Amino acid sequence: MIIRLVGACFIASGLLISQALAHGGVSVQDNRCLMKIGPYEMNFTGYQPQKSYSQYCDDVPDAGRTVIVLDVQQTDSSTNIVGTANSNDLRDMAIDMRVLRNVGQASDDVDVEKNTEVYVAPKKYPQGSLHFEHEFAKGNYIGLVRATNDHGQVFVSRFPFAVGETGTTILFIYGLAAVLLIGGIGAYFYSKRQKKAA
């Protein structure tokens, strides 16, 4: 029984950490930050040139001027796996980007204009690169990138991110994991002591 409890604590810790670190359509693969937009991929990079030379894939450590760059993920037609989308097709689509303040809205469509922090209007990027700069305040945001092809099909990538809260978030996650782990170990030894007493 106690072994199950300890196991459940480990599983709960892992799930909480993975949930807290999940960032929707953006993930790290082969040391690159990839954003899934429907069946396509773009490279996603954030910079804070006035603060450091580091590149950010998800959360931005400090408030302030931030540069976001999206580049079409090059697909080599000779090595493209059958059935996968050729990301070069994104160069022929109208791409727009919106950053919303995450105020706990039930849907991204609720008060969309009021909650919009940044909006980059739809445009085709034949060179495959889109970028913008913005002075972000500390807080939580939702990034939305939409690509619309000439047939009217719309592909969307949604990724929540935080600005200036990375350290706090990580401390909370690991603190919670430590509490669960210590609780599980404590329950195990308490149970063992109870069995000896009986």
pLDDT of residue 49: 86
pLDDT of residue 16: 41
The string of pLDDT tens digits covering residues 112-153 is 999 999 999 999 999 999 999 999 999 999 999 999 999 999
Close Cβ partners of 38 (under 8 Å, ≥ 6 residues apart): 85, 147, 155, 156, 157
pLDDT of residue 113: 94
Tokens standing for residue 74: 């090059």
Averaged pLDDT of the chain: 78
pLDDT over 50 at 50, yes or no: yes
Which of 43 and 32 is assigned the larger pLDDT? Answer: 43
pLDDT of residue 24: 56
Read off the pLDDT band of 20 (50, 70, 90): very low
Average confidence (pLDDT) over 74-93: 69
Tokens standing for residue 81: 């796996």
In whole angstroms, give the CA distance from residue 121 to residue 98: 8
pLDDT over 60 at 54, yes or no: yes
pLDDT of residue 12: 46
SS3 70: strand
Alpha helices in the chain (DSSP H): 2-21, 112-115, 166-197
Average confidence (pLDDT) over 172-183: 64
Burial (CB < 10 A; 0-12, 13-18, 19+), residue 173, is middle
Cα 45 to Cα 22, 106, 182, 193: the distances in Å are 17, 28, 37, 53
pLDDT of residue 78: 52
Where would I find the beta strands (DSSP E) of 57-115? 64-72, 94-101
Average confidence (pLDDT) over 54-58: 78
Range name among 34-38, 85-89, 119-123 with the lowest pLDDT average: 85-89
Task: Say if CB 163 and CB 59 are below 8 A apart.
Answer: yes
Handedness of CA 77, 36, 131, 94 (dihedral sign): positive
Which of 4 and 122 is assigned the larger pLDDT? Answer: 122
**Looking up tokens 């305040």, which residue turns up?**
137
Range name among 77-81, 93-97, 193-197 with the lowest pLDDT average: 77-81
